[in-house]
Chains A and B, each alone.
Chain A
Amino acid sequence: LKKLLSGNEAIARGAYESGVMLAAAYPGTPSTEILENITQFEEIYAEWSPNEKVALDVAIGGAYAGARSMAVMKHVGLNVAADSFFSASMTGAEAGLVLVCADDPAMHSSQNEQDNRRYCKFARIPCLEPVDSQSAKELVGEAFKISEAFDTPVMLRITTRIAHSHTLVELGDRKLGTRQPHEYHIDHRKYVMVPGNARRRHPVIENRISRLAEFAESFPYNKVEMGDEALGIITNGIAYQYAREVFPGSSFLRLGMTYPLPRRMIQEFADSVDRLIVVEELDPFIEEEIRLMGLEVEGKGIFPVVGEFSPRTIRKHAAGVGLTVDGRSADAELQPFTTDLPLRPPLLCPGCPHRGVFVVTNKLKLVVNGDIGCYTLGFLPPLSALDTCGCMGASIGVAHGVSKVGIKQKNVAVIGDSTFFHSGMSALLNTAYNRSDTVTIILDNRTTAMTGHQENPATGTTLAGETAIRVDFIKLARAMGIEHTYLVDPYDLKGTENALKKALEVDGPAVVIAERACALLPEARQDWIALRVDPEPCNGCGLCFMIGCPAILRSDQVDEKTGRHLAEIDPLLCTGCNICAQVCARGAIDTRDEVIALIEVER
């Protein structure tokens, strides 16, 4: 049976077919759907862990106990999990341990373009890379076999294009691994990484990577496809598919294992072609290894380090250095027809509870240290409400640092519920321990919204849909030694402003919890109701436009005195959050209560 599956769906299927028993992840585009798809298989225990390091440790525990285990994360997640990644390389495990890592060339939904193959070389861990969904599924199985045969964690590295492209996959049956969870009985000299044991293990892992390099020579996913000998192309992942279209007649060495490399195979391939190039996205990882072999090779001298490839990118750059490319519309003058089209940048949705907090922080002219989540979009005009945002969990530590050097402006940290659990908790503890005047605003929208509504420790449910704890942020802050805590509804601007003012006057750290469910959650949708603008009092002052709500439109109607366009509300988009009605100085927007009363009258 063949089915069209995304790379992520295929990896979930691969986990099922290769007898995986445990999978743990923290959601992150483009990897999120892997765990979401794994939940359909009852045979696999799957969880959202609070962060990637915990997820990897959970998978390591599963593998120590003898069960095939998998951790899944986006590329930057491995920065968080790196400590565990390196120590797992030192210990190995009792059963297969695979890390699926999704890089994001072009940063469709990320803050950087780091190439995680570097981590594999760094930690002496083999790296496998699929070219489509079928090979993604198969390589999950290969990764587990390699992991068990060589006593090593294995990274399956994908990119956004592999993760989110659908290609045909032949489905197979579930086969359990040869090892099964047994009584917990492991060799403490192998699994307790104190210096004495670690010194014994280091030579073992250096020897392991040499043996893996030998294995790579016969690994069937490293494959030569000879064509015209004038040009030999070494390539990997999605770049292979593009290169096949741009250079249809050339010779190819396609690498399914990009670390360690099959040196003899590469040497022989290089000897059999006139000109050798490497076509790989992001870093010159393969290229550098080949240069170290002393071979003449071209790569990043032709193709860009930055961004995502496409058939067009490869064609354009190859033609630029005189390589023969398939000529179909290779015209470089194919430019977009209209360059000044109105853009559609991602925005805070109509009814987004974060909007209320940012309207207030703007009014109070606060410096706002931001974090990773939907609320990062608050940096966009017209709100322009964020001043910094680096990576997950950074907001609170940065705000603490800012407050320690004596700047005059008041500054706060904003962080979402899931991001707070991910890596904000220890930073909040620091504001209490090393006492600062930091005000931390936890934006609790009852879900992990940015990645598409995943469960977390404050939602009351697990990935599998089971009932779970709901963390009480106030009790948590108090337990950390923070006395001043405030719970507000961000739809209530006055209440939010008053609480924030009090928090800012406190001597020492304070926490404000802005609690309101994401407007796109099913239960929140039931309360949607469209507000309306009364054209009589509206004079087109534009205050409501400044909250950056996509539901507020510029009407064709013009105010006679001011000559300005009046506001109107798109009834299809408005959720009735009431923020604009509170911002309007002339009472021109019927409030939610007024609209509800009007509807009752009309009935």
Chain B
Amino acid sequence: VKALNFLIVGVGGQGTLLASNVLADVGVEAGFDVKKAEVHGMSQRGGSVNSHVRWGENVHSPVIADGEADVLVSLEKLETLRYLHMVRPAGKVFIGEFKIPPLTVSSGEDHYPEDDEISQAVCIRTDQVFWIRTLKLAEKAGTTRAHNVVMLGALSVFIPQVPENIWLKVIAERVPAKYIDINHHAFQLGRETQEILTKQK
């Protein structure tokens, strides 16, 4: 690969930042120039959160231009739709099966889109859509909080040129020591399901 643009999105408090930090560090370890952009502040309080990670030979802008994300990683289902216009045609979209209804949905004023509606909207842009059972698999690994690392495991299958041990090393550096095993397990579970699905295709 010459360059890869990842957009990681979710809801404040979901661990979007950890996922993007790992992804950025993995890029550095793999020998790329890397830039990462996000905005801290108000958006963290249950707001919509996005983080841009760019790998390349020589990256200028830390921000990905609209329509140029090679990969959209959405840790929350609804957020996929909010950032779909960022994905390039035929880009890959990873959707974590995690639902956080906004206040207007819980109060009954707004509608939370069904999975079918999300799939239909994504299909207009790309047929490369991967639904990941992030919560289920993270629970199996030991804690639902590791859903973001499950997602990274699934994503890693599509970047074969980066060896697995780089991912495991970076994850170990980025999570508290007592949670390394759980997170490594979560990463493996994400990686395995995706490998199986890819082979079936």
Contacts and interface: CB of A to CB of B under 8 A. Distances in A.
A341 B46 contact: no
Interface in B28-47: 28, 33-43, 45-47
Interface in A163-204: 164-168
Interface stretch (B97-105, B155-163, B180-188): B97-105
B1 interface: no
A160 B106 contact: no
A61 interface: no
B199 interface: no
Nearest to B79: A344
B82 interface: yes
A208 B183 CA distance: 58
A230 B25 CA distance: 39
A451 B41 CA distance: 7
A451 B42 CA distance: 9
Contacts of B24: 4, 166
A338 B103 contact: no
A143 B113 CA distance: 52
Interface in B3-41: 11, 24-25, 28, 33-41
Contacts of B103: 344, 347, 548, 550
B107 interface: yes
A245 B46 contact: no
Nearest to A108: B39
A331 interface: yes
A30 B41 contact: yes
Given A168-B28, A334-B67, A349-B45, A343 B102 contact: yes
B70 to A, nearest CB: 12
Interface in B101-124: 101-108, 110-113, 121, 124
B125 interface: yes
Contacts of B41: 29-30, 108-109, 451
Contacts of A404: none
Contacts of B78: 341-342
A346 B46 contact: yes
A562 interface: no
B138 to A, nearest CB: 14
Nearest to B53: A166
A328 B68 contact: yes
B49 to A, nearest CB: 9
Nearest to B102: A342
B172 interface: no
A29 to B, nearest CB: 4
Contacts of B102: 342-344
Contacts of B63: 161, 165, 242, 310-311
A338 to B, nearest CB: 5
Q: Main SS of chain B's interface residues?
A: mixed
Contact of B65 (A310, A335, A345): A310
Interface string A249-267: 0000000000000000000
B106 A554 contact: yes
Contact of A166 (B35, B84, B107): B35
B48 interface: yes
A245 B59 CA distance: 9
B151 to A, nearest CB: 20
Contacts of A329: 65-68, 88-89
25 contacts: A4-B25, A108-B43, A160-B39, A161-B62, A164-B37, A165-B37, A165-B63, A168-B28, A168-B33, A310-B61, A329-B65, A329-B88, A336-B82, A337-B85, A337-B121, A342-B101, A343-B104, A344-B102, A344-B103, A345-B47, A346-B42, A347-B103, A548-B103, A550-B106, A570-B106
Interface in B48-83: 48, 60-63, 65-68, 78, 81-82
A553 B112 CA distance: 13
Nearest to A568: B106
Interface of A: 2, 4, 29-30, 33, 108-109, 132, 160-161, 164-168, 238, 241-242, 244-245, 310-312, 315, 328-329, 331, 334-338, 341-347, 349, 374, 377, 382, 451-452, 545, 548, 550, 552-554, 565, 570
Given A160-B39, A165-B35, A245-B65, A334 B85 contact: yes
Contacts of A245: 60-61, 65
Contacts of B89: 329
A548 B102 CA distance: 12
A331 B67 contact: yes
Contacts of B101: 342, 553
B46 A312 contact: no
A346 B103 CA distance: 10
A336 B68 contact: no
Given A4-B25, A337-B84, A550-B103, A344 B124 contact: no
B48 A344 contact: yes
B107 A545 contact: yes
Contacts of A109: 41-42
B28 to A, nearest CB: 6
B84 A346 contact: no
Contacts of A161: 37, 62-63
Given A30-B40, A343-B104, A166 B47 contact: no
Nearest to B110: A342
A342 B111 contact: yes
A545 B110 CA distance: 14
A132 B47 CA distance: 27
Contacts of B43: 108, 346
Given A338-B121, A341-B82, A108 B105 contact: no
A167 B28 CA distance: 10
A331 B85 CA distance: 11
Contacts of A328: 65, 67-68
Nearest to A316: B66
Contacts of A382: 107
Nearest to B33: A168
B146 to A, nearest CB: 16
Nearest to B61: A241
B60 to A, nearest CB: 4
A165 to B, nearest CB: 4
